[in-house]
Amino acid sequence: MKYLFLLYGPDGPLPEPGTEEAVAMYKRWSAATGEMAQAGVLIDCAATLPTATDGSIEIRPVIGVNPPG
């Protein structure tokens, strides 16, 4: 079974680019996607905003999709 994770951002504004908060947020996002890729569970990742800690996540099963490889 494969799953799709949908990330929804918070209602408020994101940290301004270049600020300590923004750099920390992107580092956490990069670490999370890196760990998923290393574990072999990341199939694809579009440029979604790293808002999982401040927003919400929806998880849906994906039926009938088999990526190459």
Q: What is the pLDDT of residue 8?
A: 79
Do residues 23 and 68 touch, judged by C-beta distance below 8 A? no
Closest CA relative to residue 7, chosen from 61, 63, 50, 36: 50
Assess whether pLDDT exceeds 70 at residue 69.
no
Percent of the chain with pLDDT over 90: 12
* Mean predicted confidence (pLDDT) in 32-59: 78
Residue that is written with structure tokens 């999709």 in the block: 65
